[in-house]
Amino acid sequence: MKLIRFGDQGNEKPGVLLNGMRKDLSKHFTDWDRAFFQSGGLNEVQKLLASHSTLPDIAPDTRWASCIARPGKVLCIGLNYSDHAKESGMPIPEEPILFQKAANTVVGPYDPVLIPRKSTQTDWEIELGVVIAKDTRYLQSVEEAENCIAGYCISHDVSEREFQLKRGGQWTKGKSCDHFNPLGPCLVTKDEIEDVHNLPMSLLVNGQKMQKGNTRNMIFNCFYLVHYLSQFMTLEAGDLINTGTPPGVGLGMNPQQFLKEGDIIELSIDGLGNQKQVCTPA
């Protein structure tokens, strides 16, 4: 299944993508949120779709919202691609590097990226997003982790490098500016992904390819991350994990390159769709 959400900000509704067409499920479900996932809602959607019920179309000009409701937590993994760690001039981590983004950074896949006031180093980062299916704590093995995942999506971990690295070394404040996590277009359930650890991914800025990678180059894979994080905190249904970015970020270029007003960013991951954003002043 490919779950979507649609509608104006603050009035988003749940839907599904069927044969390339967006369908409205708001008469059957409230939202793709913690309560939905925790109650086994994915099975209910599957039953509804199997019943061949006629579902209303969504008007083509309707805004694409983030593919899940505002999560309780956005957990992010730094330096999780061996080739990205190399370009950053940093050693391969022995354990996952964890930081958080504010949950209100999550917006739609085609919403603008807002360049913060006084920003000089807003940067791009394509990532695979993992959405948690049920409340999860103290998993006993990595193998258990796959059953705790609802699905996968494209996640754009936008970063302001000066805020992140030069203003007291606070990663959170460099990651949590408004609109700094476009998400979607779809949450693709795990049964539709043959091998989540072999997905090509790319990011373009103004038509020029900046990032090209593959999830097989993760240092810590999705299942390991879910197991690892569950040892420190409860992962709640609907939480989002951003699993790290491949090489090609602006910070790692020589000379460095950062986003400015009017720049167009395009992201894609095989099987998960595409995103497109225009950079706009905050």
Show Cβ contacts of residue 194 under 8 Å, excluding neighbours closer than 6 positions: none
Q: What is the pLDDT of residues 144-202, one digit of tens each?
A: 999 999 999 999 999 999 999 888 777 899 999 999 999 999 999 999 999 999 999 99
Polymer length of the chain? 282
User: Each residue of 213-258: pLDDT tens digit?
Assistant: 999 999 999 999 999 999 999 999 999 999 999 999 999 999 999 9
Asked whether residue 12 falls in the same domain as residue 99, the answer is: no
For residue range 97-129, list pLDDT tens digits in order: 999 999 999 999 999 999 999 999 999 999 999
Both 37 and 165 in a single domain?
Answer: no
Other beta carbons within 10 Å of 42 = 21
Nearest C-alpha neighbor of 126 from the set 148, 154, 159: 154
pLDDT given for residue 160 in this prediction: 96
Residue 193 belongs to a domain? yes
Number of domains in the chain: 2
What per-residue confidence (pLDDT) applies to 268?
A: 98
**What's the mean pLDDT in 256-261?**
97
pLDDT of 90: 76
Structural domain including 39 reads 2-50
- Give the H or E element holding residue 47: helix 41-50
Do 146 and 189 lie in one domain? The reply is yes
Residue 280: band (very low, low, confident or very high) from pLDDT cuts 50, 70, 90:
very high
Residue 242 bridge partners (DSSP): 76, 129
Cα separation, 145 vs 133, in Å, equals: 10
Half-sphere exposure (Cβ direction) of 98: Cα atoms closer than 13 Å: 15
Residue pointed to by tokens 């993992």: 130
Q: Regarding predicted confidence, which is higher, 79 or 275?
A: 275
What span, in angstroms and rounded, lies between the C-alpha atoms of 259 and 179? 14
Peptide bond into 255 cis (omega under 30): yes
Same domain? 171 vs 224:
yes
Provide the 3-class DSSP secondary structure of residue 252: helix
Which CATH number goes with the domain that contains 85? 3.90.850.10
Same domain, 84 and 43: no
pLDDT tens profile 55-75? 999 999 999 999 999 999 999
pLDDT at residue 85 is higher than 80: no
Whether 88 has a pLDDT exceeding 80, the answer reads: no
- DSSP state letter for 165: I
Based on the fold, state whether residues 46 and 96 are members of the same structural domain. no
pLDDT digits 0-9 by tens, 3-40 = 999 999 999 999 999 999 999 999 999 999 999 999 99
**Which residue(s) pair with 154 in the sheet?**
128
Strand partners, 14: 5
pLDDT of residue 83: 78
CB count in 10 Å sphere of residue 18 = 13
Q: Are residues 119 and 6 in the same domain?
A: no
Query: Does residue 66 lie in a domain region?
Result: no
The tens digit of pLDDT for each residue in 41-56 reads 999 999 999 997 789 9
Ramachandran angles phi, psi of 260, nearest 5°: -140, 170
Q: Two tokens at 35? A: 């309560």
Q: What does each C-alpha distance from 134 to 5, 57, 149, 223 come to in angstroms? A: 20, 29, 8, 14
Neighbours of 163 (CB within 10 A): 23
For position 66, what pLDDT does the model report?
98
DSSP β-ladder status, 273-281 and 113-115: parallel
